Structure 1
């Protein structure tokens, strides 16, 4: 055993033990965090506007602070960008995380001196907990790659501003710097294809032991490595142990990614966002991600079917139930108050609190009242793909309302690694699976309001070419699984086989 892995083991044991203790006091920690947040928030413009001085309980808080999305938060963010102090949190943020919103354009999310540890420590804890659980620490002695955005930062209102992954890059511990790839200079390249080519050059002859990134972009990296070497990943990186991922559901990418590697390896799922690092996989055997309940964030949960109501039900952690789809609302020491991050989650356990990410609030199809969500389409497609031994590269779904006289339908744009033998039979399997998952969709077909879904095969590299065409190739960008309009679908028509 080498030096770094030897040192990591006792530290991993300490961190894992602390995580286990926090599992047992999750509700108590959440209550304490809300109290502390409100106490600090009283000294801010937001606290004055919402009469934080009068808040004595969670019930008081819900009455005083309505749920907001970024657009409704923007006036406060704009004041921070103008250099104002004590707007959402004491002082000014130490960073602004810059992210692309689907409806808000560029978003600027504050990161404060108090909140930055949530991003850094949670990533570290996820890896240390994995070490403690599996006994595998050898990856700490090899090279690690984090496919991320540029670490170059601009200044907005005097505040360093950039992609979250680039900001986090500045906080990688010194003892890991010698393990980290790619180089700083390569990480600063903005064009994804140029950057990827440089990453491959820098890493192909290295002892890579851990690779981290969003699955579709990791797959692009693997494709380039295999094209240049003529070998599977396991034969290029013989000591590759761990694949860390987040940002999208792994299942649609699992078969191709693991096939590219060519051997079983451990995977570690995380749930980070610019607004906070919310959860991570704490077990290789149990389903779901452990909610990060003691890291400066107080969570609220709104039943997903109420999120657009004027006065939706707002629940604290102790009130959630297993199996219910919730919109995730956060309150944090970054100065985000009753902030709707746009993700939906479902608890698979409340002892401890483990969840799965089920989709995006704005990514759904309900052109006819069916309210089909991401979790349902992913399940329906991947179940059929597994039965038919078909591998999926990427996909998205949209409604087809105008049909020249025939019944409307859901139109699926799917890029296949290998095509089904009978596309019509495959589409019927997917349709059957979706009918089983969503009773409203089933009712619409039974009532002859909709016809069964149709699949449009997208040509090889079609989704990559599309993302490139719109300037969103690589980094943290993702293809939406669902759209309730035709914008994305109509643009994809030119990428069909």
Structure 2
């Protein structure tokens, strides 16, 4: 046993024990965080504007601070860009995390001296919990790759600005630097295909033990490795034992990723975003991700049926219920207040508080009143695929609204790694599972208002070519599962196979 894996054992045990203690005190910790957030931000521009000095309870806070998305929050960001201090949090942010919004263009999310540890320690704690539970610390002695954005930062109003993954790259502990790949210069390459080839060059003959990234981009890395060698990834890297992933639901990609590896490896799922590191998989034996309840973020939740209302009902952690879809709202020491991050979650446990991500609040189909969400389409296609031994590379869904009565339907654009023998039969099976999950969709089919869904097969690498065409290949970019219009669908048509 080498020194890093040897020292990791006691450290992992200490951190894991503290996290388990926090499972019991989660609600109290959340209340203490809210109290501290309000106290610290009382004299900021935001705190004065919202009368933080008069807030003593969560109910008073809820009444004083409305829900905002980035568009509504952006005036405060503009004040920071103008050089103002103490706008949302004391002083000025130490970084802006730059990210692309679906409706707001480029977003600039503040990261403060107080909030940076949330991003760093969240990922660390996920690995340490895994080590403590499984006893696998050997991977700490091998090479690790984090498929991420460029660590090069620009300055916006004097504040270092870049992709979150690039910012975090600057805070990787020294003891892991020698284990980290690719090299800094390679990570700075902006063109994804050029960067990918260079990453393969650097890692091909290394002792890779941990690989991390968003699943579709990890798959591209695996494909290039196999293309170069003719071997499965698990043979190229015999000591590869841990895969860390997040950003999208892993399930649609799992079968193909494991096939590319040639065996099953342990997985650690995380729930990071530019706004914070919200949850992580703390156990290989329990479903869901453990909510990060003691890391500078006070969480609120809006039940699905309240989303979009002028004054939606919102609850704190102590009042959440299992099995209910909620929009996730955060208040943090980054200076985000009543902030709607756009993700929907559902608790699978409240003792401790573990959840799954079920979709995006703005990614749904309700062109006909059905309000189909990501969790429902993923369930439907994965269940049908498992029964038919079909493998899915990527997919997205959009409404097709016909001018002729009874001709409208949901159009599914699917790139198959292993297509079904009978596409129409497969489509009907997916449709039936979706009807079981969504009663409104079922009513529309039963009432002959909608036709059953149609599948448009996309040729191999069609989604990659689509992402390239819009300048979003690689990095942290993802194909939306659902759209309520045909902006994506109409462009994707050019990569469709003949039915």
Find out whether 1:169 has 2:144 as its counterpart: no
**Residue aligned with 1:144, SS:** strand
* SS in structure 2 of the partner of residue 448 of structure 1: coil
Aligned to 1:135: 135
User: Once superposed, which parts of structure 1, at least 4 consecutive aligned residues long, lie more than 4 Å away?
Assistant: 403-406
1:196-227 Cα distance to aligned partner (Å, 9 max, x none)? 00000000000000000000000000000000
Q: Give secondary structure in 1 for the equivalent of 2:108.
A: strand
Residues 427 and 454 of structure 2 are in contact (CA less than 8 Å); yes or no, is this contact kept in structure 1?
yes
Q: Distance in 1 between matches of 2:346 and 2:492?
A: 31
Aligned partners of 2:412 and 2:454 also within 8 Å: yes
Partner of 1:335: 335
| 1:128 shift after superposition | 0.6
C-alpha distance in 2 between matches for 1:406 and 1:276? 45
Q: CA offset at residue 41 of structure 1?
A: 1.2
Match of 1:96 in 2: 96
The Cα shift of 1:403 comes to 5.4
Q: 3-state SS of the aligned residue for 1:113?
A: coil
User: By how many angstroms is 1:264 displaced?
Assistant: 1.4
Normalised to the residue count of structure 1, the TM-score between the two structures is 0.99
Matches within 5 A, 1:332-411: 332-402=332-402, 404=404, 406-411=406-411
**Bigger shift: residues 231-240 or 302-311:** 302-311
The 5-angstrom pairing of residues 235-274 of structure 1 reads: 235-274=235-274
1:196 matched residue in structure 2: 196
Provide the residue aligned with 1:115 in structure 2: 115
Q: Hey, what does 1:416 align to over in structure 2? A: 416
> Structure 1: how far apart are the matches of 2:66 and 2:85?
23
Q: How far apart are the structure 1 equivalents of 2:338 and 2:242?
A: 35
Residue in 2 aligned with 1:3? Answer: 3
Cα distance per residue 1:75-133 (max 9 Å; x no partner):
00011111110000000000000000000100000000000000001111110110000
Match of 2:322 in 1: 322
Query: Distance in 1 between the 2:406 and 2:114 partners?
Result: 57
Distance across 2 between alignment mates of 1:23 and 1:406: 52
- Measure, in 1, the Cα distance between the counterparts of 2:51 and 2:253: 47
Quote the residue 2:312 is aligned against: 312
Structure 2 Cα separation of the partners of residues 199 and 125 of structure 1: 26
State the partner residue of 1:449: 449
- In structure 2, what is the Cα distance between the partners aligned to 1:101 and 1:277? 18
Cα deviation, residue 407, structure 1: 2.0
SS at match of 1:494: helix
Aligned counterparts of 2:285 and 2:8: Cα–Cα separation in 1: 22
RMSD over aligned CA atoms reads 0.6
How far apart, CA to CA, are the structure 2 residues paired with 1:305 and 1:214? 30
Shift of 1:304: 1.6
State the match for 1:211 in structure 2. 211
1:322 deviates by 0.1
CA offset digits 1:143-191 (Å, max 9, x no partner)? 0000000000000111100000000000000000000000000000000
> Separation in 2 of the partners of 1:412 and 1:263?
30
Q: CA deviation at 1:405?
A: 5.3
Distance in 2, Cα, partners of 1:283 & 1:32: 26
Q: Provide the C-alpha distance between the structure 2 equivalents of 1:145 and 1:83, rounded to a whole number of angstroms.
A: 37
TM-superposed deviation, 1:418: 1.3
Offset from partner CA, 1:231-267 (integer Å, 9 cap, x none): 0001100000100000000010000001000011100
Q: Is the 8 A contact 2:406 2:449 kept in 1?
A: no
Alpha-carbon separation, structure 2, partners of 1:259 and 1:182: 24
Question: Residue 118 of structure 1: SS of its match in structure 2?
Answer: helix
The aligned counterpart of 2:52 is 52
* TM-score, with length taken from structure 2: 0.99
Secondary structure in 2 matching 1:450:
coil
Query: For structure 1, which segment, 304-313 or 365-374, has the greater mean C-alpha deviation from structure 2 after superposition?
Result: 304-313
Distance in 1 separating the partners of 2:406 and 2:51: 56
Contiguous gaps of at least 5 residues in structure 1: none
